[in-house]
Chains A and B, each alone.
Chain A
Amino acid sequence: MRSLVPVAALLALSTLPTVAPAADDVASLRAELQALKSDYDTRVDALETRIKQLETANSAAADAAAALATAPPAPEPAPAAPKSGGASAFNPAISLILGGTYAYSSRDPADYHLGGFVPSAGEVGPGERSFNLGESELTFAASIDPYFSGQLTAAINGENEIEVEEAFFRTTALHDGLTVKGGRFFSGFGYLNEVHAHAWDFVDQPLVYQALFGGQYKQNGLQVKWLAPTDLFLEFGAELGNGDGFPATRLERNGFNGATLFTHAGGDIGDYTSWRAGASWLTQRAEYRSGGIDDPAGVPLFDSFTGDSDTWVVDGVLKWAPSPRRQLKVQGEYLSRHETGSIFDAAGGLLADDYRTTQSGWYLQSVYQFAPRWRAGLRYDSLDGSAPEYTLAPPGLADTGPDRVSLMLDWNPSEFSRLRAQYDRDNARDDGERDRILRLQYIYGIGAHGAHKY
């Protein structure tokens, strides 16, 4: 019963204040009320303390508001009128590269090949003699929406063919250093593979890129890159693709062919020097990839290859720029490929199922900007064309060692034009007779100002 008394008291206080309680309960009620009152006092004290705390906080907020009210006014709206309007306002940035060469070579370019290497079906050799139209590179690029950007680079070559060099989307809304790229793109391994032709420091790619990738490796696929949250530049990348590019072949099946893993680190040394170095690994599969290695008589040993191809790449670049008018750039890469599998003759007959090769190559180049508009460069290329090994290999298969020395001088009247001369002493065929090659080149850029990667 006693437990009900406070409830009754409360009811009396709140809803029936005028009802007179029973006389004998008055004393106990009074005692209860007293107890309640002291209880409430404690609570009210606690509440008052809290209110005081809140008031302190509020006055701080009021101070903040007052400070903001007297703070400098918000910026005026941008005074500039929109640069263009209507349907053209969202046009992508368009840039066009014009390029061409005049070539002299002491040996017939038609029989140019890299001695001891399977043909890579790409851009190998100095090209034809006399005047040549290079690739005209047309690039469209823009943000797609707040989440993606897109780019297309089409190359129109001198033979009137259009090739989609790159066409990809890239994420712009991911956090924590993540970027995803999809479509067709130059693989991110090494240093030179991602660089477009107009930004090369020499007319052509190093021999090792020509031998192992036909110039540059690209495929249709997906790339994920992650940048570590460190002051040291540290990126990790992985790619999957359809394998539609030498040394892989496109497979007639679902799934992918060709995985690439790469990592790069980079930073500064003092105020004037910066560097980047990396290591990459590519694994691919080829099925009935046409093209074989020639025997000493010039006859192909086999017609096609089916098997696995793994490539390691180590790259490094160092730039020293002591003034806006002088810069030294040193770069080098080492690439090594191991292939195992089966080889077939022209009729598709199996020649060997224990075919294996390990071939490699490297280059080291340096370009020095010695005056505001002038740059000079020196490059050395070397390939190690070790002969393949298999049970029925003919005797007398020799290792090869093509190499080349290139000298370059270019004049850059502005950021948008470049005139270049390059002289090569080229021993790519590795047959004892050097090819002397001289090329004069022009590269012009029109349209949107491109931004170049490191």
Chain B
Amino acid sequence: MKNPIRLVSILLAVAGCLPAHAALKVLATTADWGSLTTELGGDHVNVYVATTALQDVHRVEAKPSLVARARSADLVVATGAELEIGWLPVLIQESGNAHIQRGAPGYFEATDALRLLEVPSQVDRSMGDIHPLGNPHVQLDPHNIQQVAHALTARLTQIDPAGAVYYATRARDFDARWDAAIKAWEAKGARLRGVPVVIMHRDQAYLCHWLGLTELASIEPKPGVPPTAAYLGTLVGKLTTTPAKLILLNAYNDPKAADWLSERLHTPSVVLPFSVGGSPAAKDLFGLYDDTLNKLLAALK
């Protein structure tokens, strides 16, 4: 008589350890959020990343393949602050999936957990491609990643309460590793504090803010507006009197203007991965920061 009971209790115990359902389907808009979701969700999540680091996330097509992924997603992890405004609303609208509609638990925006830089007091398109809700390119400040990780853990738990222990354990583990990594990066990057740089677009603002790099100028005269020859001319004049040490460029940027400027000013230009997958070394979030710092420090020598 006791054997069947034992068998049942063993089965119950085994079932308690295994996910009682299929992995959560997550559609992440960028590889950074994809990497973070994998860190926190482990094998409880099945992550599909909508873009690559070599794409400009402002301008992505609402491709049929993405609509199909949105249709079956349990959770969309987006940057928010209108970064994906040109394509994500179409995916959600076409998905026929009530779980991921804006306002539903299955729709997560990273920037909801953050205080954004550069929130304009006034907006007008004559100012270029500015983001009315603030600068959405938040992934290059590791403290942001940490805050988003907390919010995302809470969201994963809300959507999948059965995995609460699992997510909490992974979140604690990630938090500890990330804390240690931040300390290491900040120690390593201390040399970069106050280093004058030229940036390409406002999407490097968080990196500069974190590392204390001094932004002297931007190659884009206004966000999203490519430089004219005349503007580059004045930039050369300005940077000759106040020289920069580095010109920062992202993997997806057109290097032409930066290369031209770099040659003119004899200032090294550094191509940063910007996003997970933006360089061979930036395989995940840890790699992204390791590689970004290595490239900055190597160029400074």
Tell me, yes or no, whether A binds B. Answer: yes
A-to-B contact residues, CB < 8 Å: 49, 53, 56-57, 60, 63-64, 67-68, 70-76, 78-80, 83, 143, 146, 149, 170, 172-179, 225-234, 264-268, 271, 274-276, 319, 321, 323-325, 372-373, 414-416, 446, 449-454
Residue of A nearest to B85 (CB): A449
Q: Which of B148-156, B210-218, B284-292, B293-301 contacts A (4 or more CB under 8 A)?
A: B148-156
Distance in angstroms from B122 CB to nearest chain A CB is 13
Which 6 A/B pairs are nearest by Cβ-Cβ distance? A266-B64, A233-B64, A75-B151, A177-B96, A71-B168, A233-B68
Complex contacts, B68 vs chain A, CB 8 Å: 227, 230-234, 266-267
Question: Cβ of B125 and Cβ of A446 under 8 Å apart?
Answer: yes
- B24 contacts the other chain (Cβ, under 8 Å)? no
Complex contacts, A57 vs chain B, CB 8 Å: 12, 16
Q: List 19 A-B contacts (CB under 8 A).
A: A53-B12, A56-B9, A60-B16, A64-B164, A68-B157, A71-B171, A73-B150, A79-B114, A80-B115, A175-B98, A230-B68, A231-B69, A268-B63, A276-B64, A325-B254, A373-B226, A415-B129, A451-B86, A453-B90
Residue of A nearest to B63 (CB): A274
- B94 contacts the other chain (Cβ, under 8 Å)? yes
Known: A75-B113, A172-B98, A231-B69. A415 touches B59 (CB 8 A): yes
Question: Cβ of A72 and Cβ of B101 under 8 Å apart?
Answer: no
Distance in angstroms from B252 CB to nearest chain A CB is 6
Known: A53-B12, A175-B99, A232-B68. A454 touches B93 (CB 8 A): no
B-to-A contact residues, CB < 8 Å: 2, 5, 9, 12-13, 16, 52, 54-56, 59, 61-65, 67-69, 71-72, 82, 85-90, 93-99, 101-103, 112-116, 119, 125, 128-129, 132-134, 147, 149-151, 153-154, 157, 164-165, 168-169, 171-172, 175, 224-226, 252, 254
CA distance A162 to B99 in the complex (A): 38
Complex contacts, B12 vs chain A, CB 8 Å: 53, 57
Residue of B56, B86, B133, B134 touching A324 (CB-CB under 8 A): B56
Given A324-B59, A453-B62, 11 other A-B residues pairs in contact with their CB atoms under 8 A: A67-B172, A68-B168, A72-B149, A72-B175, A75-B147, A319-B61, A452-B62, A452-B86, A452-B90, A454-B63, A454-B90
Known: A230-B68, A231-B65, A234-B68. A324 touches B55 (CB 8 A): yes
Complex contacts, B86 vs chain A, CB 8 Å: 415, 449-452
Residue of B94, B97, B153 touching A175 (CB-CB under 8 A): B97
Distance in angstroms from B244 CB to nearest chain A CB is 24
Residue of B59, B149, B172 touching A70 (CB-CB under 8 A): B172
Residue of A nearest to B92 (CB): A172
Complex contacts, A70 vs chain B, CB 8 Å: 168, 172
Complex contacts, B165 vs chain A, CB 8 Å: 63-64, 67-68
Distance in angstroms from B66 CB to nearest chain A CB is 8
Question: Cβ of B62 and Cβ of A266 under 8 Å apart?
Answer: no
Most chain A beta-carbon contacts within 10 A, residue among B56, B63, B86, B112: B63
Residue of A nearest to B87 (CB): A451
Question: Cβ of A179 and Cβ of B94 under 8 Å apart?
Answer: yes
Known: A72-B172, A323-B54. A451 touches B90 (CB 8 A): yes
Complex contacts, B62 vs chain A, CB 8 Å: 451-454
Question: Cβ of A451 and Cβ of B88 under 8 Å apart?
Answer: yes
Known: A178-B96, A415-B129. A49 touches B5 (CB 8 A): yes
CA distance A230 to B82 in the complex (A): 28
CA distance A100 to B239 in the complex (A): 43
Distance in angstroms from A256 CB to nearest chain B CB is 23
Residue of A233, A416, A452 touching B65 (CB-CB under 8 A): A233
Complex contacts, B114 vs chain A, CB 8 Å: 79
Residue of A nearest to B222 (CB): A414
